[in-house]
Amino acid sequence: MTELVFRDDAYARSCAARVAGADERGIRLDRTVFYPTGGGQPGDTGTLRLASGAAIAIIDTLKGDLPDEIIHVPAPGTALPEPGTELVAELDWQRRHRLMRMHTCLHLLCAVVPGAVTGGQVSDGRGRLDFDVPGSSLDRDAIAAGLNALIAAGHPVMPRWISDEELAARPELVRTMSVKPPSGAGRVRLMEIPGVDLQPCGGTHIRNTAEIGPVTIGKIENKGRQNRRINIAFA
Concatenated DSSP letters for 5-57? HHHH-TT--EEEEEEEEEETTEEEESEESPPPSBTTBPPP-EEEEETTS-EEE
Nearer to Zn ion by Cβ, of 135 and 159: the residue is 159
Residue 106 CA to residue 194 CA, distance in Å, equals 15
109 interacts with Zn ion by CB under 5 A? no
40 interacts with Zn ion by CB under 5 A? no
8-30 as b/e: b if 16+ CB within 10 A: eebeeeebebebbbbeeebbbbb
Min separation Cβ 111 and Zn ion, Å: 12
Residue closest to Zn ion, measured at CB: 201
Min separation Cβ 157 and Zn ion, Å: 9
Nearer to Zn ion by Cβ, of 46 and 203: the residue is 203
Contact with Zn ion (CB under 5 A) among 36, 40, 120, 203: 203
Kindly write out the interface string for residues 159-198 of this chain, putting x where it contacts Zn ion by CB under 5 A and - elsewhere.
--------------------------------x-------
- Helix (H) / strand (E) containing 108: helix 93-112
Tell me which residues touch Zn ion (CB under 5 A). 191, 201, 203
